[in-house]
Amino acid sequence: MARPVTGRNSRARTLRAALPCLALIALSGTAAHAQTVTPDLFSSRRASQVTSPDSPLRRTSAEVNDPLASPKLQEDEKRAPSRIGQIPKYGLPAASGAADSGYDSLNRQRKKPKYYPGQARPKPPVGPGSPPPPIASNTQLRLSIPPSESANKTRLAPAMAGTVVGQPPRKRLRIDDDPFGAVGDYAGSFLIKSAVELRGGYDTNPGRTSVPRGSPFYVIAPEFVAFSDWERHAVVADLRGSFTGYTNTFPPVDGVVSSAPTNIDRPNFIGHVDGRLDVTHDTRLLGQARLLVATDNPGSPNVQAGLSRYPVYATFGGTLGVDQNFNRLQLSAGAAIDRTVYQYSELTDGTSTSNDDRNYNQYGGLGRVSYDLMPGLKPFGEIVGNIRSHDILVDRNGYQRNSSGGNVRAGTSFELSRMLTGEVAVGWAARTYEDPRLQSLQGLLTSASLVWVATPLTSAKFFATTSIDETTVPGVSGVLTHTYTAEVDHDFRRWLSAIGRFTWGTQRYQGDDRFDRFYSLSGDLIYKMSRTLWLKGTLRRDWLDSNQPGNSTASTVVMLGVRVQN
């Protein structure tokens, strides 16, 4: 028997199921609404896309505000790609550290910095082959940078450091070569510095006698320095004095008259005021006023026997000159006048004697020519002449002391790389006396002033001077004195310095067989507590070696003191 076709049976069953549904819709009273096709139709949720408030799957407020639940953070925490099988790459890519402005190795266009009106623009760097920038003439060349400049320092406010954007550049202060030196005070356009030293110690032979007798002593030494701060012209005043007092006296022993006074207290003052008037760029007028107050040196043959105290003398005078430059050639000329006056000598018996025969006037002139051969080397030649006229034609011993003389010398001033600077000269000095019994005094003249900066902490100095001094010794025309001094300064710290000094020289008495050699060796230690207060200690040994019996002496001096300065 034949079976029905399968497709027909399927369609028949479908129609039979659909007819009851259509009948049910038709009998319902609810109107049917059209449905719009939206993405919600394809959602897997059955009811609504909005989660119910009481649903356990709803996120709390704490989870919403949790920064660790940020989708961006979760993307960043993804695992890095595997490097297995990859070729490793070393180093940094080119120009990875370049800033927004400046050099870029990839030659990319960089941003140019913007400057406010009035702001300083940086100068372009010096290229290869370009000369270095010139060094200002008023600044000193430093041999090395001290550790204090590279050490860690307290930060400054931007306004003080001059780093505020748009702020005008601050004027740089001059480098302070002496951080513990006196600051001084300004009075108008003059900078004034003052100081006073108070020292005390012991001298084993203050009278410089053959039989030594010691005594404690004290020294009061004031100082005053003032100099102008002008663009043109200049005035400098340098005044230094001291008074040395001894607590012991030295009366005659067993009625024997001593070569040293009973009271050996003595003052000392040296001061000068220098001025310069700039007439033109190449013409200058120079002037100086000077004053010296002192006594004869202890142990000198000019000291009378039986004195109660040293007679004080004063030398005062002035110089007026002119300097003229002709390109590298410089000519200088000047005239000088000085007056020397002695006090009366007070004797131990209460009487006094006059020293008018030692008073004299000196008139002189000088000329100097120098040539600036090359930077740092300036040779010169100098000639000096003077006349000495005493108030009394014949002195106490019947000799006419009026004389005329001078000196001529040649040398050079130099400055070699700021390590060796100074002046050195050699010449000849001579003096002729009116009295035919007094021989002419002449001899080699040496003068030098050298400074060698071996290291930033150590320096050496050398000085040499020659002088022809007056004397009252019968038959002796004068004393030719050569003095040489070598000094070494060393700074252990900026606040702790040591100075070693050695002085030697000779004294030749023209017309007598006497010839003296003198030596002095000293050491100073200076502790600089501040710019205002210093502590100083000194140990010195002096010798005088004479070929005349009974005139050789020796002495040891110990001093401690304090210096107060401003």
Mean predicted confidence (pLDDT) in 233-245: 96
Residue 400, in any domain of the structure: yes
**DSSP state, 12?**
H
Mean predicted confidence (pLDDT) in 245-263: 84
Count of domains observed in the chain? 1
The pTM of the full predicted model, rounded to 2 decimals, is 0.69
Nearest to 420 by CA among 450, 390, 384: 450
Report the DSSP beta bridge partners of residue 345.
353
Return mean pLDDT, the chain: 83
What does the pLDDT read at residue 142? 54
Over pLDDT 70: what percentage of the chain?
Answer: 77
What does the pLDDT read at residue 145? 62
3-state secondary structure 239-295: EEEEEEEECCCCCCECCECCCCCCECCEEEEEEEEEEEEECCCCEEEEEEEEEEEEE
* pLDDT at 492 > cutoff 80: yes
- At residue 12, what is the residue type? A
Residue 107, in any domain of the structure: no
* pLDDT at 377 > cutoff 80: yes
Measured from the Cβ of residue 304, the count of other Cβ atoms closer than 10 Å reads 18
Mean predicted confidence (pLDDT) in 375-398: 93
Q: What is the pLDDT of residues 36-61, one digit of tens each?
A: 444 444 444 444 445 555 555 555 55
- At residue 361, what is the residue type? N
User: How far apart are alpha carbons 484 and 461 in whole angstroms?
Assistant: 11
Residue 71, in any domain of the structure: no
Residue 83, in any domain of the structure: no
What is the domain range of residue 436? Answer: 177-565
Signed CA dihedral, 81, 84, 85, 86: sign only = positive
Residue 198, in any domain of the structure: yes
> The tokens 């740089």 sit on which residue?
172
**DSSP state, 296?**
P
Three-state DSSP class for residue 41 = helix
Q: What is the pLDDT of residues 302-331, one digit of tens each?
A: 988 889 999 999 999 999 999 999 999 999
* pLDDT at 227 > cutoff 60: yes
Token readout for 92 is 């940094």
Strands (E), 494-548: 496-510, 515-528, 533-546
What does the pLDDT read at residue 247? 94
Residue 54, in any domain of the structure: no
Mean predicted confidence (pLDDT) in 464-483: 93
What does the pLDDT read at residue 354? 93
Q: How confident is the model at residue 34 (pLDDT cuts 50, 70, 90)?
A: very low
**DSSP state, 213?**
-
Nearest to 511 by CA among 470, 482, 476, 535: 476
What does the pLDDT read at residue 383? 97
CATH number at residue 214: 2.40.170
Token readout for 68 is 């660790």
Residue 125, in any domain of the structure: no
Q: Are 545 and 195 in contact (CB under 8 A)?
A: no
Residue 329, in any domain of the structure: yes
